[in-house]
């Protein structure tokens, strides 16, 4: 009888456990994974699945009915568009301001030289995220255009589908140098590698990387979605975001 009773409790627990799926810009990979861990310490019966990719692709997928409950974009404009179309139900809210850096593992990379590194003789391939749908790629392009070096360098570009892939090109040696998210330069997989250096790009060289999020139509039906949405605004989440170089309120 006792075993049956315990079995019923376990069954009820599983029945009432909630699960949500979140699409997030890939610059959030490490920060949001840590935030998720903290969140689940307080919501032990629930599940949160993270999908990372370029913000533009995420917007397109949600507009086409992808079953994501929350959308975290590296560009607030993508959330605004989904809100106007009715695919996001909450008024778009900023969660952070992102920064871009020049990063390389090459022994000749000198952070103090800034953009001059991109023009150095040892540079054959430069990794950036695809500017057509990845906000960090768009900001990289803007910064290089404003610095007057974009046209002379674009033949060397290796385009990542998103900013994580661009960083991966540099890590693997497929590119010599690149422009990536500060949050990735501060991540354990990069920050702990030998000869890790980066140059923080002046944010006056590109339009602000205002990042925003919102609850989707599907997410509005799931109580756990609102819990995670609100958790992003807590002190615990804020500390983690700042740890990865995001500027918050």
CA–CA separation, 108 vs 111, rounded Å?
10
Q: What pLDDT is stored for residue 14 in this prediction?
A: 43
For residue 188, the model assigns a pLDDT of: 87
pLDDT in tens, 15-29: 555 899 999 999 999
- Strand (E) positions, 99-226? 100-104, 126-129, 157-160, 177-181, 197-200, 209-215
H/E stretch holding 21 = strand 19-25
- Domain range list for the chain: 2-97+210-243, 100-200
Cα atoms in the 13 Å half-sphere on the side-chain side of 85: 15
Architecture of the domain defined by 2-97+210-243:
3-Layer(aba) Sandwich (3.40)
Cβ atoms of residues 180 and 53 within 8 Å = no
How far is C-alpha 238 from the chain's CA centre? 15
Question: Among the CATH numbers 3.90.79.10, 3.40.50.1820, 3.40.50.2300, 3.40.190.10, which is that of 100-200?
Answer: 3.40.190.10
Characterise 113 by phi-psi region: left (phi > 0), alpha (psi -120 to 50), beta (else): alpha
User: Average pLDDT of 211-218?
Assistant: 97
DSSP 89-111: -SPPEEEEEE-EEEEE--TT--G
Q: How many CA atoms are closer than 13 Å to the CA of 41, on its beta-carbon side?
A: 9
Kindly report, residue by residue over 116-130, the tens digit of the pLDDT: 999 999 999 999 999
- Output the six-digit token pair for 163: 């900013």
Topology alike, domains 2-97+210-243 and 100-200: yes
pLDDT at 196: 65
- At 2 the pLDDT is 45
Span 53-65, average pLDDT: 96
Which structure tokens are listed for 177? 């140098």
Q: Report pLDDT for 249.
A: 72
pLDDT tens-digit map of 147-157 = 999 999 999 99
């Amino acid at each position: 009888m006792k075993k049956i009773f315990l079995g019923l409790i376990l069954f009820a627990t599983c029945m009432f456990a909630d699960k949500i799926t979140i699409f997030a810009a890939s610059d959030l990979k490490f920060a949001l994974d840590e935030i998720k861990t903290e969140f689940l310490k307080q919501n032990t019966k629930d599940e949160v699945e993270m999908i990372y990719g370029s913000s533009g692709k995420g917007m397109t997928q949600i507009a086409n009915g992808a079953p994501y409950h929350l959308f975290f974009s590296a560009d607030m404009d993508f959330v605004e568009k989904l809100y106007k179309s009715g695919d996001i139900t909450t008024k778009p809210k900023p969660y952070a301001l992102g920064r871009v850096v020049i990063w390389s593992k090459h022994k000749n990379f000198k952070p103090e030289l800034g953009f001059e590194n991109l023009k150095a003789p040892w540079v054959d391939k430069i990794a950036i995220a695809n500017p057509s749908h990845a906000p960090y790629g768009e900001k990289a392009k803007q910064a290089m255009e404003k610095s007057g070096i974009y046209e002379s360098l674009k033949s060397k570009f290796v385009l990542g589908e998103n900013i994580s892939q661009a960083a991966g090109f540099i890590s693997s040696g497929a590119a010599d140098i690149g422009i990536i998210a500060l949050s990735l330069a501060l991540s354990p997989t990069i920050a702990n590698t030998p000869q890790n250096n980066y140059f923080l790009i002046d944010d006056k060289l590109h339009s602000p990387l205002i990042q925003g999020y919102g609850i989707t139509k599907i997410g509005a039906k799931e109580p756990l979605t609102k819990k995670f949405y609100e958790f992003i605004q807590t002190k615990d989440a804020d500390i983690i975001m700042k740890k990865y170089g995001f500027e918050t309120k």
